[in-house]
């Protein structure tokens, strides 16, 4: 592919990845509203998120005849199963880490270590050391995330802290694996079909544990609206944008785009819920934005 065609493709990939990160950031708020309104556990919210996101995307494909492009080969089935297993697994690991530690600590470790995991894996695969710009931008992004989300009060110690940190790292490894695997195209499978069936399979895998913890939804407008928004916007649309942006973006840039999720969530909490961010939080926001801008500018 010529340079004149690659540059616009990379620009579209960057826009898609930024959109995915921003929409993911609204998922925390909508998921919290759903959990509070319906009395659901975090695991049940995750199951609804994947099932509704996958279900609506499958219906969209069926209505637009997008399912006709899928060629059900063994490679396609393996890719969809792998996507479903990874999506379900890192959701479980993340929420288990939250239960053992705290939302801020689990998010900081999982999202903050993601670009590091992807950068190391990419360096091993390509047999070269990451560039200085990549190292600086990752370090700046991780430091910004620490300032943005770190809240040591109430975090338990001992085995709970150790197990929570390990689970958060497993979560980052799972999402990093999905990021690297999904970049390789499979004949007969596009990004939207990967989104639809990957999410739905992941939701099915979470259902047994979610049913055990309770999945009953009160038939009220606020509950149904929150569930539909969570399933469609920060899940179906966001993951579709993410998988679409994987093709031409560098893996490390792709991983760094996930940092828009906590950034968006914290800013929304500050302006919508009037949460106090503090000087350290705003400094972390500025540092995180600067690191992301440097990386996207470098990849442009």
Q: Measuring CA to CA, which residue among 25, 66, 15, 51 is closest to residue 191?
A: 66
Whether 151 has a pLDDT exceeding 80, the answer reads no
Vertex 234: Cα angle to 110 and 95 (nearest 5) = 35
Average pLDDT of the residues of the chain: 78
pLDDT level of residue 9 (50, 70, 90 thresholds): low
Whether 281 has a pLDDT exceeding 90, the answer reads no
What SS3 class is residue 186? strand
Q: Measuring CA to CA, which residue among 251, 31, 268, 295 is closest to residue 140?
A: 295
Counted residue by residue, the chain has a size of 300
More confident residue, 204 or 268: 204
What SS3 class is residue 205? helix
Summarize the confidence of residues 179-194 as an average pLDDT.
Answer: 83
Q: Measuring CA to CA, which residue among 277, 289, 234 is closest to residue 25?
A: 234
Q: 34 with 226: CB under 8 angstroms?
A: yes
Residue 30: both structure tokens together:
């909508």
* Amino acid 199: pLDDT: 93
**Residue 140 region by backbone torsions, left for phi larger than 0, else alpha for psi between -120 and 50, else beta:** alpha
Beta-bridged to residue 186, according to DSSP, are: 189
Whether 37 has a pLDDT exceeding 80, the answer reads yes
Vertex 138: Cα angle to 136 and 141 (nearest 5) = 105
Vertex 61: Cα angle to 57 and 63 (nearest 5) = 115
Q: 45 with 35: CB under 8 angstroms?
A: yes
Which segment, 118-122, 135-139, 147-151, 178-182, is predicted with the most confidence on average?
178-182
How far is C-alpha 2 from the chain's CA centre? 31
Q: Which residue intervals of 39-131 are DSSP H helices?
A: 42-63, 74-100, 103-126
Q: 13: which residues sit within 8 A by CB, 6+ positions away?
A: 244, 245, 246, 247, 248, 249
In whole angstroms, give the CA distance from residue 254 to residue 40. 31
Summarize the confidence of residues 241-260 as an average pLDDT.
Answer: 75
pLDDT level of residue 232 (50, 70, 90 thresholds): very high
pLDDT level of residue 148 (50, 70, 90 thresholds): low
More confident residue, 162 or 241: 241
Q: Measuring CA to CA, which residue among 240, 253, 254 is closest to residue 297?
A: 253
Summarize the confidence of residues 48-67 as an average pLDDT.
Answer: 89
DSSP letter (8 states) at residue 189: B
135-139, 188-192, 225-229: the lowest-pLDDT one: 135-139
- The rounded radius of gyration (Å) of the Cα atoms in the chain is 19
In whole angstroms, give the CA distance from residue 26 to residue 78. 31
Whether 242 has a pLDDT exceeding 60, the answer reads yes
* Amino acid 158: pLDDT: 72
């Amino acid at each position: 592919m010529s340079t004149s065609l690659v540059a616009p493709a990379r620009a579209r990939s960057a826009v898609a990845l930024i959109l995915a990160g921003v929409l993911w950031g609204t998922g925390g708020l909508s998921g919290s509203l759903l959990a509070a309104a319906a009395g659901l556990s975090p695991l049940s919210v995750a199951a609804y998120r994947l099932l509704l996101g996958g279900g609506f995307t499958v219906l969209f494909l069926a209505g637009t005849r997008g399912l006709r492009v899928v060629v059900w080969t063994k490679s396609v089935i393996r890719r969809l199963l792998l996507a479903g297993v990874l999506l379900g697994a890192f959701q479980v690991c993340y929420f288990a880490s939250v239960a053992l530690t705290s939302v801020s600590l689990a998010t900081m470790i999982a999202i903050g270590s993601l670009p590091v995991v992807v950068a190391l894996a990419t360096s091993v695969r390509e047999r070269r050391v990451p560039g200085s710009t990549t190292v600086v931008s990752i370090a700046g992004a991780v430091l910004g995330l620490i300032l943005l989300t770190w809240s040591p009060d109430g975090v338990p110690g001992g085995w709970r802290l150790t197990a929570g940190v390990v689970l958060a790292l497993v979560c980052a490894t799972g999402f990093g694996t999905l990021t690297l695997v999904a970049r390789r195209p499979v004949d007969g499978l596009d990004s939207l079909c990967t989104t639809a069936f990957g999410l739905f399979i992941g939701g099915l895998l979470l259902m047994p544990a979610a049913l055990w913890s309770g999945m009953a939804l009160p038939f009220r407008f606020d509950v149904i609206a929150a569930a539909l928004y969570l399933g469609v916007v920060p899940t179906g649309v966001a993951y579709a944008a993410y998988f679409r942006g994987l093709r031409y973006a560098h893996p490390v840039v792709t991983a760094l785009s996930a940092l828009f999720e906590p950034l968006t969530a914290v800013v929304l909490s500050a302006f919508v819920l009037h949460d106090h961010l503090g000087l350290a939080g705003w400094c972390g926001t500025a540092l995180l934005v600067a690191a992301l801008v440097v990386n996207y500018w470098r990849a442009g």
